Amino acid sequence: HRNRLEDNVIENNGIGQEAAGIRIRGYTNDLVFKNNTICDTRSGEEQKQTVGIRIEEHVGRVTLDSNKIVAKTAVDDRRSEK
């Protein structure tokens, strides 16, 4: 709850199957992600980090501010209420 992740490089996650750079799970809220770079620098078939940020169904308020996300899917928001 009430965490902030700022000015980080998050890259090259996932081995064997597709993965997210950041995966937010559970009953949490008031998260801030600011000025982060999220990408996969591996080549071709080696790239597994296909989602930048995945927000799962029970997550509350999330603030995404000025992040650079290079992924097949930048944000995968699975919440029913956003």
Using the predicted structure, report yes or no on whether residue 82 has a pLDDT greater than 80.
Answer: no
CA–CA distance from 64 to each of 12, 17, 18, 55, 81 (Å)? 20, 25, 22, 11, 16
Structure confidence at residue 8 (pLDDT): 99
Using the predicted structure, report yes or no on whether residue 57 has a pLDDT greater than 90.
Answer: yes
pLDDT tier, 70 (very low <50, low <70, confident <90, very high otherwise): very high
Structure confidence at residue 36 (pLDDT): 99
Identify whether the C-beta of residue 4 lies closer than 8 Å to the C-beta of residue 34.
Answer: yes
pLDDT tier, 18 (very low <50, low <70, confident <90, very high otherwise): very high
Average pLDDT over residues 20-36: 97
The beta strands (E) that lie in 12-57 are given as 19-24, 31-34, 37-39, 49-55
The pLDDT mean for the chain works out to 96
